[in-house]
Amino acid sequence: MAELNSSSPKAGGRNRFRKPAPRVDLTAMVDLAFLLITFFILTTTLTKPKAMDIVMPVGNEPGAVPETRTLTICLGKNNSVLYYLGLADKPIIPATVTNLSSHGIRKAIFDIRNSIMQRTGKSMIVMIKPAETSVYENLVSTIDELKIGNIQQYAIADIAQKDIDMLKEKRVY
């Protein structure tokens, strides 16, 4: 049993007739402390991991991708993004530089997705090509923007020399 003594008895004749010092039993308080600790440990929710599902293609054979539905996003330096629709040689929408804000790449994704849906009735396909000067955070932000735009088909690809030349021309490489 846990006790708390407020004073210790002294040797001598005078303390013989005194009342014993009050003692406080701490057992109930210790039990309550352990019950509270147990309660808070069991009721605390731990942070759940936040992960993004990425579906990777099966097999090594590349499939035919229609260029009229393919948006290419090249990530450059200083949070700059270059995008175009179609092929790099003859783009349907010319290469445009923007940023990773809601008025930048998000607006472009929404506008192009809606125009492709109206023209073809099919969804847009996005190719993300990070350059050597881009940072990993920009790739994650771009994938977040695709999730916000409800783009189901996208791929992360190696950047081609034509794309690097366009980034250099726009001074974002």
DSSP state of 40: H
Question: Which pTM does this prediction carry?
Answer: 0.65
For residue range 116-163, list pLDDT tens digits in order. Answer: 999 999 999 999 999 999 999 999 999 999 999 999 889 899 999 999
- Domains parsed from the chain with CATH numbers: 67-169 (3.30.420)
Q: What is the pLDDT of residue 13?
A: 56
For residue range 16-58, list pLDDT tens digits in order. Answer: 667 777 788 888 899 999 999 999 988 887 777 777 676 666 6
CA distances from 110 to 13, 73, 95, 107 (A): 95, 14, 17, 5
- 10 pLDDT more than 60: no
For residue range 50-107, list pLDDT tens digits in order. Answer: 776 766 666 666 667 788 999 999 999 988 999 999 998 889 999 999 999 889 999 9
Q: Is 106 helix (H, G, I), strand (E, B) or coil?
A: helix
Q: What is the pLDDT of residue 47?
A: 76
